[in-house]
């Protein structure tokens, strides 16, 4: 086996996603398993170079994980020819400029979503990356979740017959921050800092719907701010200017209708923090992050509407668990592995900056639809 080092500049690793999911659960987990076997006698050894604004935070992170390389000078890191890949998990508003610099420096780029704050910027990134001949990828982690992988298996196996509709329910209560601290960063609730649930979640809905059921052709959304005042990380009150709930209806090619609610102002009465119910002529499924349950046409009960008597059946008990039948790895790590293979072997990879731009497009049109109070077509975008 030949060991080949791949040097990855990781920007935004002191943040929630950058730290936990990308550094610890993906890159460090890959090192713990001995690197990534490319299947051709080569093992890739990821070497992170931590990048950020605060030296003390980066030093502490590096020391904690026994890493030696960190820098507060992004330009210098990008000018280093030994750095192969630039990864970005910064706050959304800081992403576009950093990605442009990395592409101009000839780095392959991998990034969190949303890739930019608007469709024009997101498309420009995709075009710049193509023109520069660098490889590019965007995090689309939800389709790598065990629950959704099982749902995809059902779709591919033809379980549903003709798929009619999808209803998704996402959300949980995010504390306002006064009497209990908020469990999400305060910038998420300020539109001027790139926050908002539409910008955050519609990119996820785009690739989930697209990969499982087909391209989204129209959107109708109502975005609102249920909690207008919150308290930040320092206990200071601020005006929550961004939407914290979005109720969306999406048409999908082939006539499937999807309806997805997303809210940070909802209390959970579900089995998981996100759940999708899919109804088809032959059967239905409910998939969450980890679980997936089905009800076949042949086992569908016959409820009769009668408000005069208590419910006679326990409806949840009438569903059957879909078995794992395999071992599921962390979704972020699984996608990192595919991206690293793509960079080093040219293996196909379609979760790229154009796919990322479709997510930004859906968010942009979702907000426009809400502001104008009407349904909007989603035109197909190309490079």
Ligand X SMILES: NC(=O)c1ccc[n+]([C@@H]2O[C@H](COP(=O)([O-])OP(=O)(O)OC[C@H]3O[C@@H](n4cnc5c(N)ncnc54)[C@H](O)[C@@H]3O)[C@@H](O)[C@H]2O)c1
- For binding to ligand X (CB under 6 A), which residues are involved? 12, 14-18, 52-53, 89-92, 94, 112-113, 139, 141, 185, 200
Give me the least distance between CB of 171 and ligand X, in Å please.
13
3-state secondary structure of 8: strand
CB of 308 to ligand X, least distance (A): 46
Tokens of 190: 């300020």
Taking only Cα atoms into account, the Rg of the chain, rounded to an integer number of angstroms, comes to 22
In the bound state with ligand X, the residue whose beta carbon lies nearer, of 91 and 265, is 91
In the chain, the N- to C-terminal Cα span, in Å, equals: 39
- Least distance between ligand X and beta carbon 359 (Å): 10
Structure tokens at 44: 């890739």
> Which residue, 18 or 248, has its beta carbon nearer to ligand X?
18
The dihedrals phi and psi of 297, each to the nearest 5 degrees, come to -50, -40
- With respect to ligand X, which residue has the nearer C-beta, 134 or 182? 182
User: Residue 51 CA to chain centroid, in angstroms?
Assistant: 22
Looking at the Cβ atoms of 87 and 159, the one nearer to ligand X is 87
Hey, is 180 helix, strand or coil? coil
Separation of CA 258 from chain center? 18
- Bridge partners of 259, per DSSP, are 167, 249
Q: Which is nearer to ligand X, 54 or 296 (CB)?
A: 54
Cα separations in angstroms, 146 against 143, 285, 348, 349: 8, 14, 22, 20
Minimal distance, residue 89 CB to ligand X, in Å: 5
Minimum CB–partner distance for residue 295 and ligand X (Å):
29
Query: Helices H, strands E: what count in the chain?
Result: 10, 18
- Measured at CB, which residue is nearest to ligand X? 15
Q: Which of 40, 31, 70 is nearest to 341 (CA)?
A: 40
State in angstroms the smallest separation of the CB of 188 from ligand X: 7
Least distance CB 95 / ligand X (angstroms): 6
Report which of 143, 140, 171, 150 is spatially closest to residue 286, judged by C-alpha positions: 150
Q: Which is nearer to ligand X, 14 or 263 (CB)?
A: 14
Taking the least distance from each CB to ligand X, the nearer of 12 and 356 is: 12
- CB of 183: closest distance to ligand X in angstroms? 10
* Pick 186 or 369: Cβ nearer ligand X: 186
- Tell how strand 85-88 and strand 108-111 pair up: parallel
């Amino acid at each position: 086996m030949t060991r080949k080092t791949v040097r990855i500049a990781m920007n935004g690793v002191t943040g929630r996603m950058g730290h936990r999911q990308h550094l610890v659960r993906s890159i460090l987990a890959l090192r713990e398993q001995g690197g990534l076997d490319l299947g051709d006698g080569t093992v890739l050894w990821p070497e992170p170079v931590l990048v950020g604004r605060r030296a003390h935070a980066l030093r502490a992170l590096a020391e904690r994980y026994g890493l030696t390389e960190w820098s507060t000078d992004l330009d210098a890191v990008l000018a280093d020819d030994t750095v192969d890949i630039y990864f970005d998990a910064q706050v959304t508003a800081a992403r576009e400029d950093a990605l442009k610099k990395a592409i101009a420096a000839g780095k392959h780029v991998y990034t969190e979503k949303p890739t930019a704050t608007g469709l024009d910027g997101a498309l420009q990134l995709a075009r710049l990356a193509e023109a520069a001949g660098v490889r590019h990828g965007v995090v689309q982690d939800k389709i790598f979740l065990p629950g959704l992988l099982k749902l995809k298996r059902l779709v591919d196996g033809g379980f549903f017959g003709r798929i009619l509709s999808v209803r998704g329910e996402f959300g949980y209560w995010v504390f306002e921050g006064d009497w209990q601290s908020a469990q999400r960063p305060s910038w998420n609730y300020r539109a001027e800092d790139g926050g908002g649930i539409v910008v955050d979640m519609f990119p996820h809905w785009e690739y989930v719907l697209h990969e499982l059921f087909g391209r989204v052709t129209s959107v109708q959304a109502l975005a609102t701010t249920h909690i207008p005042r919150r308290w930040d990380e320092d206990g200071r009150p601020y005006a929550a200017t961004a939407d914290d709930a979005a109720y969306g209806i999406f048409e999908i090619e082939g006539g499937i209708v999807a309806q997805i609610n997303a809210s940070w102002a909802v209390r959970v009465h579900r089995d998981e923090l996100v759940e999708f119910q899919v109804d088809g002529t032959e059967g239905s499924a409910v998939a969450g992050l980890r679980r997936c349950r089905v009800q076949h046409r042949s086992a569908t009960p016959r409820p009769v509407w009668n408000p005069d008597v208590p419910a006679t059946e326990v409806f949840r008990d009438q569903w059957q668990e879909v078995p794992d039948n395999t071992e599921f790895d962390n979704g972020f790590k699984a996608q990192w592995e595919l991206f690293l293979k793509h960079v080093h072997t040219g293996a196909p990879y379609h979760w790229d900056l154009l796919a990322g731009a479709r997510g930004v497009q859906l968010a942009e049109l979702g907000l426009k639809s809400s502001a104008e109070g009407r349904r909007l077509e989603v035109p197909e975008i190309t490079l």
